[in-house]
Amino acid sequence: MLKKINVVLKEKSYPIIIGYKLFNQDCILRYFKKKKKYIIITNNTLLNLCTKHFYKYLKKNNIYVDIIYISDGESYKSLHEVNNIITQLLNKDYGRDTILIAFGGGVIGDLTGFIASIYQRGIEFIQVPTTLLSQVDASVGGKTGVNHNLGKNMIGSFWQPKYVFIDLFFLSSLPKKEFLSGFSEVIKYAIIFDKKFFYWIKSNSCKLKKLDKNALLYCIYKCCKLKAKIISLDEKETSCRALLNLGHTYGHAIESYMNYNNILHGEAVSIGIVLALQTAQVLGILKKNISEKIILLLKFFNLPVLPPKNMPILSYILYMKKDKKNILGKIRLVLPSNIGIVKIYDNISQKIIISAIEKTLKKY
């Protein structure tokens, strides 16, 4: 069970290696150099898993490795933690021969990548994503950053990893809720790019939910293949890469309002997708039966489809106006007209957005 995808860029192309128990295999060792220093960035929840498997693998093969860990949670994706980690790197005199390794989900990946991009004007880093969401999406593409109280991912950079190692083995360590939340991003890829893949997910949903290795391997490979193609065409999101933001403008508004607590990113994206579907229906570009098929699939993976009841509708507008994808202050949304067909719409009116939110709250 080993698959490889190459992300082809003008500069800094890199491989994505996908498999099961990768760090039991000698073939992976060739990607690590004994002349380099590797610093793993992880969190306290994953520390035991990291030490038992990944750290142990590097140590026994005489690779220099150290660990820095932070507390677990989206609220720690902050400039405060950036300063904390950089201070530890400087205290131990780690130089430009250092390679950072992100061992964790999207928070750890984004944080580590951002630190790598600014530490001593840029050092290399490696992604070892441990959540489904980070394996299918966040670890690939070089988007790094931290949150601000007024908006998600408002401080960051584009900084591509040296390698991405996706090990299905780590998924079995996840709480069920966190594992299932990753399927919002999987379903997102199908809605944007591939109707056939959507129906494959639907047909294999029980296998995927039960962590069937072969089904997961194909699912993750497919998502990474789709994302690698888009990144190769548009590395810094000046055109088609923006399509990957389906559900994210609404979702980020929810996360920001909730101060990144009590909701997983994948859950916020799921609600965001439903609100995007309703927006498309209000505009008359999406049929109701198509929207219902997508919502049923989200529900099968125990994903939320109802906006937070305590979130004022005008709060969506407040946060969506601050979205970094907007141009000239106009709210931009990625909306589907069918499964496999989406488009970027500029200048969506506040009236349309409010109507979509109100209709969603009433329906579900």
Return the C-alpha torsion angle 125, 181, 151, 188, nearest 10: 90
CA distance 290 to 86: 48
Question: Looking at residue 140, what DSSP letter applies?
Answer: S
CB atoms within 10 A of CB 118: 15
Taking the CA atoms of the chain, what radius of gyration do you get in angstroms? Answer: 20
- Which active-site residues does the annotation give? 121, 143, 185, 227, 237, 241, 245, 248, 252, 265
β-bridge mates for residue 16, sequence order? 5, 164
CA angle 244, 246, 250 (to 5 degrees): 130
Neighbours of 271 (CB within 10 A): 26
Q: Any idea which residue has 């790197």 for tokens?
A: 89
For residue 194, CA distances in Å to 199, 300, 342 come to 9, 19, 11
52 alpha carbon, distance to own chain's centre: 25
- DSSP letter (8 states) at residue 359: H
DSSP states of 204-260? THHHHHTT-HHHHHHHHHHHHHHHHHHHHH-TTSSSGGGGGGTTHHHHHHHHHHTTT
Q: Please list, in sequence order, all residues whose beta carbon lies within 8 angstroms of the beta carbon of residue 280, skipping any fewer than 6 positions away.
A: 286, 291, 335, 336, 337
Helix and strand totals (H; E) in the chain: 15, 11
